[in-house]
Structure 1
Amino acid sequence: MELFAVPDLPEIRAGDDLAALIDERVAFEDGDVLCVASTVVSKAEGRTFDLADFEAGERAERLAAHRAEVTGEERDPRFAQAIIEESEELVLEAPFVLAVTKFGHITVNAGIDRSNVPGGDLLLLPEDPSASAARLSERLGVPVVVTDTSGRPFRYGQRGVAVGWAGMPASRDWRGETDRDGRELGVTVQSVVDELAGAANLVAGEGDGGTPAVVVRGWAFGDHGGSENLFRDEADDVVRAALREWEFDG
């Protein structure tokens, strides 16, 4: 398997034809997968905003005040309002905000970025990253994974994850297949879109030297069942249920 960054992409701005910019720089081959950072998808889709675009309501004022109290740092209630408007639920409000986005991803601050946002204060995630991936996939003729970086429970550091995908299943379903000793696998469902996103993030990098699009070449899904499930259903998400009952006491 080979991964390489799409070279020389310019700073993406609202209304740019991201598919055309990528297509001009890559001769795609059968079997390729494109991993593209949600940041450039969001920029092209006009998801850059100023703090002034958000009028803080009562809940946002309370949220910002509470976070300031427990962290000792001032918090802008307009940022809290942006998080609230981008979320279906806040499962944790302190010492950081853990939010369920409207498309099902659970992440800190609803995935709102405050870095690398020329011409604005905030960069919101795409409204529907899988729909964004589908539009790119249709134009480019290859599967597309829209990626973001996210922290992990029980571990330090961030890694690349998939927030949207199209043209391929989210997961390989190994259930019903056998291991090397002939035992049937009963629970293994491999999140390949997350694994591709993580691999792509190693090539894309971070900070001012980052490159926002990576081509995966020579990887194959294989003869396996596929699953579109990536975000755990609320009904069987025991961690989310536990967090709802937990309160940070400093």
Structure 2
Amino acid sequence: MRMELFAIDGLPLIKKGDDLAAMICERAELEDHDSVVIASTIVAKAEGAMVQKSDVVPSQRAINIAKRLGKDPVLVQLVLDRSSDVIIEFPLLLVENLNGHVSINAGIDDSNVDTDYLLELPHDPDASAKGIGKRIADLCGRDVSVIITDTNGRAFKIGQTGVAVGVYHMHPIRNWQGEKDLFGKELEITEEAVADELAGAANLLMGEAAGGIPVVIVRGFEYHTKDDVSVKEMYRPDNEDIIRKGLRCLRQSSD
């Protein structure tokens, strides 16, 4: 197997209503079964998933949490508004957002955006990925996979990495159960987070800060599918998530 990754240069600053698929098709010679990896920030901007700070009125709960964290109460209120579950409030605000993704601050960001605004994650990243993939097929005639990414920290390790928050034409998990290892033993629990691995690889080229490149093409990784897929395939069921249970106990003991 040989896999290649290359960045798409020359994208302008993205604004609401921009056609990302057209911009990508104009700047890349895509091939069938390429994986188009796109930073969630530009998808959110194109979809208008931005909130003006002056439109957010912090509740007393948000004010209290913000005081403990040393954060802006407006940011905290927006995080609460966009969350289905607050897992812990201190020393960081770890939540499950309305789409099921677990991250600090619900993925809401104030970098690379006007100081009067906050940028959310796309509200339905799977739908975003599907829309871009279908639009690329219409414009370029290419059948591609799409991964929408965000950068997340990791428990037990320093540093951030790219992760998938939305997918199209690619199952986010590859199940190796039933396969044999080198010694003929059957694998029982091995499930590979392929969408996250590709997101992490793409993040090496995307970079961070002002010089970031928000779109990377992955070629040669053959895991394309016509199935209906969702990033939620990789979310661990609540009743099996021992880490979340432990964090809830921590939250309750500190209340």
Task: Name the structure 2 match of 1:94.
Answer: 90
Partners of 1:171 and 1:227 within 8 A in 2:
no
- Does residue 79 of the first structure (1) align with residue 79 of the second (2)? no
Q: Distance in 2 between matches of 1:163 and 1:193?
A: 9
- The aligned residue for residue 166 of structure 1 is 168
Partner in structure 2 of residue 103 of structure 1:
99
Unaligned runs of 5+ in 1: 68-72
Q: Deviations over 1:197-234 (max 9, x none)?
A: 000000111111110000001111289xx985211111
**Cα deviation, residue 45, structure 1:** 0.4
- Go from structure 1 to structure 2 and tell me whether the alpha carbon gap of 1:212 and 1:222 turns closer, same or farther (over 3 Å shift): closer
Output the amino acid matched with 1:231: Y
Q: TM-score, normalised by structure 2?
A: 0.90
Q: Is 1:136 aligned to residue 138 of structure 2?
A: no
1:70 is aligned to none
Residue of structure 1 equivalent to 2:148: 146
Report the TM-score, using the length of structure 1 for normalisation: 0.92
- Which residue number corresponds to residue 244 of structure 2? 240
Residue 43 of structure 1 is matched in structure 2 by 45
Poorly superposed stretches of 4+, deviation over 3 Å: none
* 1:21 paired residue number: 23
Contact 1:6/1:215, CA 8 A, preserved across alignment: yes
**Aligned partners of 1:48 and 1:120 also within 8 Å:** no
CA contact (8 A) 1:5 1:215 kept: yes
* Structure 2: segments with no counterpart, 5+ residues: 137-142
| Structure 1 position 187 matched with structure 2 position 189 | yes
Report the CA distance between 1:65 and its aligned residue: 2.4
**Distance in 1 (alpha carbons) for counterparts of 2:21 and 2:68:** 42
Q: Alignment RMSD, CA only?
A: 1.9
Paired residues in the alignment total: 242
Q: 1:123 aligns with which of 119, 122, 130?
A: 119
Question: What are the Cα deviations for residues 156-198 of structure 1, in whole angstroms up to 9, with x where unaligned?
Answer: 0000000010111111110011111111000011010000000
Q: Is the 8 A contact 2:169 2:229 kept in 1?
A: no
